[in-house]
Structure 1
Amino acid sequence: MRAEIIAIGTELLLGQILNTNAQFLSQACADLGVSVYFQTVVGDNSARLTAALETAKSRADLIICTGGLGPTQDDLTKDALAAFVGRPLVVHQPSLDKMDEMFRKRGIHMVESNRRQALMLENSDPLTNDTGLAVGVALTHDQTHYVLLPGPPKEMKPMFEKYAAPWISSKLHHVSPLYSRMLKFAGIGESSLEHELLDLIEAQTDPTIAPYAKEGEVAIRLTTRAGSRDDADRKLNPVEQQIRSRLGHHIYAADDVTLEEAIVQLLKQKNKLLAAAESCSGGLFSHLLTSVPGSSAVYRGGIVCYSNEVKHGLLNVPMDLLEGEHAPGAVSGETALILAEQMRLRADTDYAVAITGVAGPEPSEGKPVGLVYIGLARKGGSTLVERLQLSGNRDAIKLRSVKSALYQLWKVLSNNG
């Protein structure tokens, strides 16, 4: 079954809110075995919504609309679909009774416009709204299935899961659900990863192999249709093993987790503590780590040693190393090493990361933008230092330096270093 999701609301087109409904519905449809081929966003305009419905009908078997079921005059979804399929709107009495009771208990007069939320298309199936007032609608007309859902996610999600998903499932005939597995990579770019796996990607049939990339990380999604999870695993496992045989040293998770989440989990498993000294990253390393729930159990904290005075005063980096005609400078492997070692001692941790470099937009100390040094101090082991030459603007370099530091830490933790 081919599906199209139509999100209705001018606020979406203006960028005032994110279209998270489409993301949720696409994933939920995949779980049902429904392939979402298109996503459309249309404003609160009857003519444009009708045009979107016409286009969707020409290319989809299932059309899911979110938004436009409320009480105001710009909530046009039910009216537009009623006109499109030639069915009148009728009152869904249980929904109207629910509204009457709610307003009565609150001692508030219910204005006539609220009745619009209890309307449904004649001879359609109501989708109960357990968390709001607007009733949803499901119907089949001219061999096309339509589902109308409210826009607020707190109403849309439970309505879909409890009522719409079973309705859609009842329309499916011998369609196996989709099963996916996410492999997360670090320390390798999207183009390099694709190059290593190009023959597998080009030869893919089932399972499919789809690369995804975001700043500092790359993922591969493996997807197949199968009658059960066990059947899916039998198809996915050989493909994953092929990928691991080539790039296993870059795979930090076989789940949709972030690199910082994986590191927090490893630190917990090994009962180890971490701290950080950050210069050019300006506290971003600490921010990502502390965004992970439970990170306080393993992350002691950090120092943003942005100036040479703080590097010297708090972390004992000698001034003759930081400044002077022949000094290595703040952006150097020597400084990264001392920052990491001193931070580990000061915080009394098993590991400490140091990041120092030139984020830009101008060179510093005569060194190019993007030059970064990562230090990693280890209790009972030697301190590692890595030199990087990163590209991008200031924000990109900061994030890439942090992701590189996380990757170096992950490698050490994974190898019990």
Structure 2
Amino acid sequence: MPTAELIAIGTELLLGEIVDTNTKYLARQLRDYGVDLYRSTTVGDNLQRITSLMQEALNRADIVITTGGLGPTVDDPTREAAAQACNTHNEFHPELWEQIRQRFLKRAMNISDNNRKQAMIPAGAVVIENPVGTAPSFIMPHNGSVLVCLPGVPREMEYLMQASVIPWLKDHYAMSGIIKAKVLHIAAVSESKIDEMIADLEEMTNPTVGLLAHPGIVDIRITAKAASEDTANTMISDLETIIRQRLGTDIYGVDDETLPQVIQKLTENGPYPIKVILGGFSADTFKGLEGKNLLVERVEPQNFTQFRNPAVRLTSPLFTCLYTPTPELSRIELNFSYPDLTDTMTREYMGAPGLREEWAVNFCLSFIRHQLISKVYPEEKNDPS
């Protein structure tokens, strides 16, 4: 399988003014076509640093893809950097200039001499015409590797990647394989505990297993490289079975599934209306939880006692979740009540203040889900798909 590196160009990225979605998109594309992505880098609009980075990447990888820096201004140095990195010079392409002029005319926009810069392409490069924007791109073979320079505008970049770059790469590289990934989500279990349970699996080379921790949630990523999608899916499925045997119902979902979605699925056709009472949480938390058979009510923390100890016999399941933040830590008090069934839990979290409420929300949702599958709907099991 060919190897690749990505370079995102733009000082605005380093300043945090915009989010780099291009790298995520390109990484997924390369993965789906069986290309090993070993490194991604962000660099500002500095000619010398971009040139040096391109040279280093071309020495390491088969395919180097850059995004950004193809505009008409002085701080768009990608063309010049590419020419220097590949020991060549830029050439003016009259046909590209005419295309750029026509696009400006169709949009009733004024064009300046600065835009002529966008018709400059490194000598020897394969020109990629841009029918959806004003920045032509190019593919530059160099010493057995290739440098692909794409615009930073996501809509343009994605179009050119699909329409021109992927077909070119297929023609020049053995891209018959595939890399597939599946993510399993676990809540309310520490990363270190999960690591203990599957440490031997993390030593594997294909498929591979990796952990990623979020506040109150840990993701287990399974990645497989194979000659076909069916083979990759089988490799992932076999390893997933082993992980599920070890972690059981602590796994609540896969890939894009969220805890609110899983709880919704559990309750939507159940025989009982479920009520969740929240106290102390921000108004924008627990989005997507309330639904057909599940009611969410927010009350002031000082009024919580009456709900945790209801005076009348309950006829449907009731959950209360009280969140109490302090300068030192955050505390959650969880309670589940139902005729002849009760459970309580208290937890404290001393992590970064900006992460405490997210941790509390995920821990509460995990508590609700576990009570539902163990006491309210014990016949329900996680969908292993």
TM-score, normalised to structure 2's length?
0.87
Correspondent of 1:389 among 332, 340, 348: 348
The question of whether the paired residues in 2 share the 8 Å contact of 1:126 and 1:135 is answered with yes
Distance 1:74 1:64 in 2: 19
The question of whether the paired residues in 1 share the 8 Å contact of 2:187 and 2:251 is answered with yes
Distance 1:101 1:352 in 2: 66
Q: 1:348-359, aligned counterparts within 5 Å?
A: 352-359=318-325
Identity %: 29
SS of match in other structure, 2:75: coil
Higher mean alpha-carbon deviation, 173-182 vs 45-54, is at 173-182
Higher mean alpha-carbon deviation, 236-245 vs 189-198, is at 236-245
| CA shift for structure 1 position 353 | 3.4
| CA shift for structure 1 position 109 | 3.1
Name the counterpart of 1:372.
332
The question of whether the paired residues in 2 share the 8 Å contact of 1:337 and 1:383 is answered with no
Residue 65 to residue 188, structure 1, CA distance change in 2 (3 Å): same
The question of whether the paired residues in 2 share the 8 Å contact of 1:355 and 1:402 is answered with no
SS of match in other structure, 1:289: coil
Q: Does 1:302 align with 2:302?
A: no
Residue 269 to residue 254, structure 1, CA distance change in 2 (3 Å): farther
| CA shift for structure 1 position 174 | 5.9
Residue 104 to residue 371, structure 1, CA distance change in 2 (3 Å): closer
Name the counterpart of 1:361.
327
Distance 1:281 1:206 in 2: 43
The question of whether the paired residues in 2 share the 8 Å contact of 1:178 and 1:225 is answered with yes
The aligned amino acid for 2:283 is: G
The aligned amino acid for 1:376 is: F
Residue 93 to residue 406, structure 1, CA distance change in 2 (3 Å): farther
SS of match in other structure, 2:147: strand
SS of match in other structure, 2:277: strand
Residue 103 to residue 400, structure 1, CA distance change in 2 (3 Å): closer
Distance 1:357 1:13 in 2: 36
Name structure 1 gaps, 5 residues minimum: 319-334, 363-368
The aligned amino acid for 1:389 is: E
Q: Does 1:228 align with 2:228?
A: yes
The aligned amino acid for 2:230 is: D
| CA shift for structure 1 position 152 | 1.7
Residue 383 to residue 40, structure 1, CA distance change in 2 (3 Å): same
| CA shift for structure 1 position 38 | 1.4
Name structure 2 gaps, 5 residues minimum: 379-385
Distance 1:262 1:130 in 2: 43
| CA shift for structure 1 position 171 | 2.5
Name the counterpart of 1:324.
none
Deviations 1:304-324 (A, max 9, x none): 423x2xx17xxxx45xxxxxx
Distance 2:348 2:334 in 1: 11
Greater share of residues in strand: 2
| CA shift for structure 1 position 105 | 3.0
Residue 271 to residue 140, structure 1, CA distance change in 2 (3 Å): farther
| CA shift for structure 1 position 219 | 1.0
Higher mean alpha-carbon deviation, 369-378 vs 78-87, is at 369-378
Residue 284 to residue 3, structure 1, CA distance change in 2 (3 Å): same
Distance 1:373 1:152 in 2: 47
The aligned amino acid for 1:193 is: I
Residue 24 to residue 273, structure 1, CA distance change in 2 (3 Å): farther
Distance 1:277 1:95 in 2: 63
The question of whether the paired residues in 2 share the 8 Å contact of 1:69 and 1:77 is answered with yes
| CA shift for structure 1 position 386 | 2.0
Deviations 1:313-342 (A, max 9, x none): xxxx45xxxxxxxxxxxxxxxx64549x99
Distance 2:64 2:47 in 1: 17
Name the counterpart of 1:135.
136
Distance 1:143 1:31 in 2: 23
| CA shift for structure 1 position 195 | 0.5
Greater share of residues in helix: 1
| CA shift for structure 1 position 5 | 0.9
Q: 1:36-115, aligned counterparts within 5 Å?
A: 36-92=37-93, 95-115=96-116
| CA shift for structure 1 position 165 | 1.9
Q: Does 1:408 align with 2:367?
A: yes
The aligned amino acid for 1:11 is: E
| CA shift for structure 1 position 393 | 4.3
TM-score, normalised to structure 1's length?
0.81
Q: 1:304-319, aligned counterparts within 5 Å?
A: 304-306=299-301, 308=302, 311=303, 317-318=305-306
The question of whether the paired residues in 1 share the 8 Å contact of 2:208 and 2:223 is answered with yes
Deviations 1:206-232 (A, max 9, x none): 211111111111111111111222211
Name the counterpart of 1:206.
206
Deviations 1:113-136 (A, max 9, x none): 122223322332223334321111
Aligned length: 375
Higher mean alpha-carbon deviation, 181-190 vs 86-95, is at 86-95
| CA shift for structure 1 position 147 | 0.6
Residue 55 to residue 271, structure 1, CA distance change in 2 (3 Å): farther
Q: Does 1:262 align with 2:222?
A: no
Higher mean alpha-carbon deviation, 102-111 vs 265-274, is at 265-274
| CA shift for structure 1 position 66 | 0.6
Distance 2:86 2:351 in 1: 51
The question of whether the paired residues in 1 share the 8 Å contact of 2:319 and 2:336 is answered with yes
